[in-house]
Amino acid sequence: DQQVKQNSPSLSVQEGRISILNCDYTNSMFDYFLWYKKYPAEGPTFLISISSIKDKNEDGRFTVFLNKSAKHLSLHIVPSQPGDSAVYFCAASASYGGSQGNLIFGKGTKLSVKP
Amino acid sequence: DSGVTQTPKHLITATGQRVTLRCSPRSGDLSVYWYQQSLDQGLQFLIQYYNGEERAKGNILERFSAQQFPDLHSELNLSSLELGDSALYFCASSAPSGGSYNEQFFGPGTRLTVL
């Protein structure tokens, strides 16, 4: 049973336009969410995170939006650059309960930014 | 460079064999996490250690075990290997508090191929 879902395996965007990557979760105990970027032959790299007490967090070109009622979050990249081409993983964590601190990952979305 | 190191980078072995994967966390990090990424799958959490003690278990098979040593490096032991164990194995570490709001920093991974 997948607790974190990224329903789009791939996304193609033109350079300079907005990239929107989506993520849904089912476990209402999740209260911290992260996005990781992964290039081939490298480990995932932390990108941006958001706590459940917020609905938006911004860091430069990257913004994460959280809709708790819909159990949905999204990552916006504006403007998209060719160097952003990578696999993006959404992850969630619960601050209480036996699994606190552990990240549950989605399967990833492969973003291709075309020049 | 995340500061997390993993060795070896690649490992090719036969079914039934036993291997050991090694991870050195970032300087000062007390928590170590192990993840498995199979083809077309997200990262599956296996196990977490905090300052030498097992803290949480995920989808780790009984044939797999791990430990964290006094110098905080960790080893993941995989035994009675099967073809389906072929995957990327990632180690991650997080900041000293071990709390749930600390981002995890990933190593480059070990690619295990079981023939």
Centre a 10 Å sphere on the Cβ of residue B104 and count the other Cβ atoms it contains: 27
| pLDDT > 70 fraction of chain A, expressed in percent and rounded | 94
Query: How many CB contacts within 8 angstroms connect chain A with chain B?
Result: 71
Partner residue facing B103 (CB), from A6, A46, A107: A46
Query: For B5, which residue in chain A has the nearest alpha carbon?
Result: A43
| DSSP-derived secondary structure letter, B58 | -
Question: What string of pLDDT tens digits covers the 115 residues of chain B?
Answer: 889 999 999 999 999 999 999 999 999 899 999 999 987 778 899 999 999 999 888 889 999 999 999 999 999 999 999 999 999 999 999 876 545 566 889 999 999 999 9
pLDDT on residue A98: 54
Q: Considering only CB atoms, which chain A residues are within 8 Å of B92?
A: 43
Which band of pLDDT confidence, cut at 50, 70 and 90, is reported for residue A99?
A: low
Count of alpha carbons within 13 Å of A46, Cβ hemisphere only?
20
Q: How confident is the model at residue A94 (pLDDT cuts 50, 70, 90)?
A: confident
CB-nearest partner of A102 from B2, B58, B105: B58
Q: Are A94 and B48 an interchain contact pair (Cβ–Cβ within 8 Å)?
A: no
Q: What is the pLDDT, as a whole number, of residue A80?
A: 98
More confident: B108 or A100: B108
Structure confidence at residue A96 as a pLDDT band (50, 70, 90): low
Residues of chain A with Cβ-Cβ distance to B102 below 8 Å are: 101
Would you put residue B40 in left (φ > 0), alpha (ψ -120 to 50) or beta?
Answer: left
